[in-house]
Amino acid sequence: MTNTNMPESNLDPNLRARLLKESKNPYRGLRRAVWIALFGSAALGFFIMVTNMIGGDTVSSNDLAIQTTALLILGFLLFKDRTKQSDD
C-alpha cells in the first residue's frame, strides 16, 4: 500500500536520512564546537587559577567560584548534547 499524497523523492536514502536527522537537531555540529571551545577555555582558566593558588599567589574566591561554575555548567551542556546510541 503506497501513500499517494507524498510525492516521489529522487533523493538518495542516506542523504534523506541525514537531512531528517539534521532537521530534528539543527546546528548540532556548530553547537558542539562552541561547547567544546568554551569548556576548554573554562578548564584552562580553572587550571591557571589553581596553579596560581599552589604557587602562593592570592586568587579571589569570587573569581574561583565563577570559573568553577562556568566549568560545571559548560561540562553539563557538553554532556547533555552528546550523541546517544539510539539516535544513530
Residue-wise pLDDT tens digits, 34-56: 999 999 999 999 999 999 999 98
- Does this model's pTM top 0.85? My answer is no
| Domain range annotation of the chain | 27-81
Q: How crowded is residue 71: how many other Cβ atoms within 10 Å of its Cβ?
A: 19
Q: Enter the C-alpha cell of residue 42.
A: 573554562
Q: Is 56 left (phi over 0), alpha (psi -120 to 50) or beta?
A: left
Alpha helices for 1-88 (secondary structure H): 13-24, 28-54, 61-80
Is residue 87 within 8 Å of 51, Cβ to Cβ? no
Give pLDDT tens digits for 10-29: 878 888 888 888 788 788 88
